[in-house]
Chain A
């Protein structure tokens, strides 16, 4: 048999991408044409009298319209939360609080399919991810923190805990339901009441959660869910009767919040941006490492604060890794988020798509070499091909700034010390990944990498029992696990 030169060899993956459509049915998802604000256990018309539309980013069609909470509405929600805190929630024994939280968890499980479909319709993420990751993990957070509610004395031995009061919680659009669960579950378990604002592009699953909270018969005012954009968030942050701010979102807004609460008694946890280094050594299981890189940067279209957006590969395996990565990218299916075979769904908004496309242009202009997977994008909706850059300089903006999209910057390195220095050479410090077969190397790396989460031989793994949070401009405070409880209590 004639042997081809290996540099001309190319595997063909067109048929792997072209499968017959397998769409998930929309019939499970009941979406009202209009949603009001969930305050004091009831859906109430906004005093602002304003509504705004939320669309499906995969086809730009309007799904529903939701109320825009003005200052007066925020005030009403905070008052409801305060009154519920004083009159019922802070006095309720932990085991009683736990019953409510367990009930919410079970109801999320019962309506998992509906949540998954709505999450995908409103946010653009593939149904495979909302079904297998977002919704089950959200339910798990409620289950986990329900378990702590009557065991706080064991969480903090020899100390007494007191709730903080009313928590103002502002969450992003990348994991709408899951972020709501991350925020609400520990707050309720520790005896706080909540005013939560989902992101303006993805309010629907939080409002569905409000319906569940209503059905679960949680005392009115313990959880209030109000919708709106930046101004509504600012009104929550600046409200004098809020005791704690929990924010997940961009570093820019995180800085604004810090300025706003400076000099007040408000506590805060901020979970902000990231530019994680994913590091592959030459003794790594390379195919699994490549899979980890794929999950690290293309999970949820790269809309993940801890996404592995900088890849460092040891020089001796650099070519092989890039080749494997390109082959793997060719098998990723980009398209209709509701199709069960879709790997990469729609970018969350036109604005975010423009940001990503700008960075792709910047990367090319700065001299990096771009590769995008083959195959066509849908004509309608906001889509972006999975993209990687090689020949990247550490000073390139695509290697420095958070893109929040399916764009990866790849560099090579020679030694452990060199890659530690490069990985830490960023204003962020949320997560990192290390791939090697050598245990001692993993421990050496994890102690020296300045990142809140370091994954070894895996990436983007989450569990309610594990704390999550950042160093440097990636924010402060931890959510999840025992640490997540600490952010909602005063120890006396």
Chain B
């Protein structure tokens, strides 16, 4: 029997109602997360973080420092989980890989001419292959938003499929940069294209464009993942990135994840937060849960 892959017609419009999706997203924020649910949620959120440094001024030392943080989030609180991954530029993969050793914390590299994606395809492929050769477990690529907005969906699809091939065993995160796509219809369409083209993750943003991740945008993408799962039986992971810096907001995202995709997605294989300052806010909340009082920011390490 020949397995045929059914790919939808991406020229058809996607139907997302702006008022409706924003109203639904705000309803998750009405859930009141207390006691045990809160404690479990905070630890889970911590364990889902892709601790990120993506700056022109990144150095080996800075990346190593971040890796130590990943492994020792707050030594005053024994038994804490580690973060899920460290997210760096391809040139830093080697350093991060060495620093993390066999800790199980993954190394993710942004590739394909991150963050703009404005480079020829062969450059993007080289960029990806370099990162994989350096030992990256995960590749965060950006889509060509210009081509997408021009309506050249096949170009975008083929590019993702090509990069997926270049990834080998590394898991591919496809960054839609939703802040540049603007409408929810377009976010949905880009999500569908990415998943059918072979994405392992779909990710909201680079963090370089505002707005980055929002709850309604993430909801559109989670619903796309759910519909794709029902159609193909294949699970796709989700990564909102940028703008999630408070524990309370992270808990709202987890409520949303739990109510859209269910408990099988509630782990760091299927969900990540792309964030750098979220970790310390969660640590502060965890210490508050344990000791009953808030500690000042000075008690938590800045790396």
Measured CB to CB, the residues of A under 8 A from B are 1, 3-6, 9, 11-16, 19-22, 128, 132, 283-289, 291-292, 323, 327, 331, 340-341, 437, 457-458
Contacts and interface: CB of A to CB of B under 8 A. Distances in A.
B259 A288 contact: no
A283 B15 contact: yes
Contacts of A289: 20
Contacts of A16: 255, 258-259, 262-263
B259 A331 contact: yes
Nearest to B37: A20
> What are the 4 A-B residue pairs with the smallest beta carbon separation, nearest first?
A288-B20, A22-B32, A11-B262, A3-B233
B232 A6 contact: yes
17 contacts: A4-B233, A5-B233, A6-B233, A11-B261, A13-B258, A13-B262, A19-B37, A20-B33, A128-B30, A132-B30, A284-B15, A285-B20, A287-B223, A288-B16, A289-B20, A340-B30, A437-B13
Contacts of A14: 263
B229 A9 contact: yes
A6 B230 CA distance: 5
B194 to A, nearest CB: 17
Contacts of B259: 13, 16, 331
A396 B226 CA distance: 34
Question: Main secondary structure on chain A at its contact with chain B?
Answer: loop
A457 B264 contact: no
B17 A285 contact: yes
Nearest to A3: B233
A274 B58 CA distance: 65
Contacts of A3: 232-234
Contacts of A287: 16, 20-21, 24, 223
Contacts of B32: 19, 22, 340-341
Contacts of B234: 1, 3
Interface residues of B, number: 35
B266 A15 contact: yes
Given A13-B258, A15-B263, A331-B259, 18 more contacts: A6-B231, A6-B232, A9-B229, A9-B233, A13-B263, A15-B266, A16-B255, A20-B34, A20-B37, A20-B38, A22-B32, A22-B33, A285-B21, A288-B17, A288-B21, A291-B23, A340-B30, A458-B19
Question: Main secondary structure on chain B at its contact with chain A?
Answer: helix
A165 B231 CA distance: 64
A289 B20 CA distance: 8
Given A3-B234, A4-B233, A291 B262 contact: no
A9 B231 CA distance: 9
A15 B231 contact: no
Given A12-B262, A15-B258, A285-B17, A291 B24 contact: yes
A21 B34 contact: yes
B233 A457 contact: no
Nearest to A332: B259
A437 B255 CA distance: 29
Which of A13, A14, A16 has its CB near the most chain B CB atoms (within 10 A)? A16
Which of B31, B235, B255 has its CB near the most chain A CB atoms (within 10 A)? B31
A464 B13 CA distance: 36
B103 interface: no
B36 A20 contact: yes
Given A6-B231, A285-B20, A11 B15 contact: no
B199 to A, nearest CB: 13
Contacts of A286: 15
Contacts of B11: none
Interface string B242-272: 0000000000000100110111101000000
Interface in B261-292: 261-264, 266
B20 to A, nearest CB: 3
Contacts of A458: 19-20
B4 interface: no
B11 to A, nearest CB: 15
A184 B37 CA distance: 44
A37 B144 CA distance: 71
Nearest to A288: B20
A15 B36 CA distance: 12
Contacts of A437: 13, 15, 17
B35 interface: yes
A341 B16 CA distance: 26
A22 B34 contact: yes
B234 to A, nearest CB: 6
